Chains A and B, each alone.
Chain A
Amino acid sequence: MSVAVATAESDSRLLERVAGGDRDAFTELYQRFARPVFAMAVRQLGDSGRAEEAAQETFAAVWRSARSYRPERGSASAWLYAVARHAIIDRARQRREPVVEVPDEATAEAGPDEQAEVAWLAWRVHSALEQLPERERSVLELAYWSGLSQAEIASYLDVPLGTVKTRTRTGLSRLAGLLEEVRA
């Protein structure tokens, strides 16, 4: 089964529009990246209030600096990741605390390189999820992060089991394409 990657405007094109002062493009970009940025900030700063501040600064920096993005140097997602990293590190420095990955099961024993690898993978996965249709994203999140079975998801969402299976398979296929796109 082959699933077409979302036909939505590319991140790169959106950034170009933001660089030109397009507020609608900025809103669209925020909707795509708010959760990945906030997730990374919470993990690395360890508290929601400071994460909000770092996320706000990230998007302020995106608005100010979108013109500095050069597509030939890498993907828009990678550029946004770097902007978010800087904002989070700046926020951490204000408290004179090192940036730390809040341990989770996947990274409990990981060294700095592996933590960076996981942070980048988490960014790509979370960003790609934001581009899925809500109906597909919700079944994947319920399966992978709430541990619900397909039958439980069907019951929770009040949809037929076959619908859950179709959405899961389509969502995973679409996600595969999106993750390929942001590998840069």
Chain B
Amino acid sequence: MREPPDLTELVGTDLEPEELEQLRSVDAALRSVPAPPHEVPARLTAAVAEVPLAGRRGRRGRVALALAFAAALVAASFGIGHWTGTRFETDYTVDLTPTASAPGAQAAVRVGERDEESGNVELIVDVTGLPELGPDEFYALWLERDGEWAATCGYFAVGEGDTTVRMTVSYDFLDFDAWNISEGSRQEETPTTLLTAEIPDA
């Protein structure tokens, strides 16, 4: 890497001594630290955008969660209750229809039964016919409301052939108007929907 130009080339020589001293100190700082990354990965920005949607769990919430988890463990060890840690039970399946932007694609979302303790719902997404993307690119399964990207279920990449992705969300799907799959994140101003399915009113 080339050395940066001298400070005098950068700022000229017509500075007051006090200002030159101040800039000399900044110049030294800039020369002594490594370059910042050119940009932040889009995947990181997309993931951090979801952080506030997860909400905050206070101490009481954490205790309740710990108790619920302990109760589930006890139930599992005595063979009672319904242990769904490794088993997926489909409640219903949503078939998404390809748009003109992805005519050869197919996708189905298997919606699991809602876990009564946590309120979470597991989703298994089966996708085929979407092209592989670059290393910093990804697809998203998201929920639409009033024509807007309202909630993200998860991000995924695809390989050759069929791809199956597992996600966990806590949304009430009846609050939304449609399931969509598009490339990129909600930061895109106008994400191109590749596959979609309307959510009928209850």
Which residues of A does B touch, CB under 8 Å? 1, 21, 23, 26-27, 30, 34-36, 38-39, 42-43, 48, 52, 55-56, 59-60, 63-64, 104, 106, 118, 121-122, 124-126, 129, 140-141, 143-150, 165, 168-169, 172-173, 175-176, 179
Contact = CB atoms under 8 A, between A and B. Distances in A.
Given A35-B40, A39-B37, A121 B9 contact: no
B45 interface: yes
Given A23-B52, A38-B40, A56-B44, A145 B35 contact: yes
B134 interface: no
Interface stretch (B19-27, B63-71, B89-97, B177-185): B19-27
Contacts of B39: 35
Interface in B43-74: 43-45, 47-49, 51-52, 54, 56
Contact of B32 (A1, A34, A52, A118): A118
Interface of B: 1-5, 9-12, 15, 19, 22-23, 25-27, 29-37, 39-41, 43-45, 47-49, 51-52, 54, 56
B51 A26 contact: yes
Given A56-B44, A173-B22, A176-B26, A35 B9 contact: no
Contacts of A39: 34, 36-37
Nearest to B45: A34
B201 to A, nearest CB: 28
B26 A63 contact: no
Given A106-B32, A150-B5, A179-B26, A168 B10 contact: yes
A52 B30 contact: no
Contacts of A148: 2
The 4 tightest CB contacts between A and B, nearest first, are A147-B2, A145-B35, A122-B33, A34-B40
A30 to B, nearest CB: 5
B51 A150 contact: no
A124 B30 CA distance: 10
19 contacts: A26-B52, A34-B40, A35-B37, A36-B36, A38-B41, A52-B47, A56-B47, A56-B51, A60-B51, A118-B33, A140-B30, A143-B4, A143-B10, A145-B4, A149-B5, A172-B23, A175-B30, A176-B25, A179-B26
A149 B6 CA distance: 9
Contacts of A43: 34
A173 B18 CA distance: 12
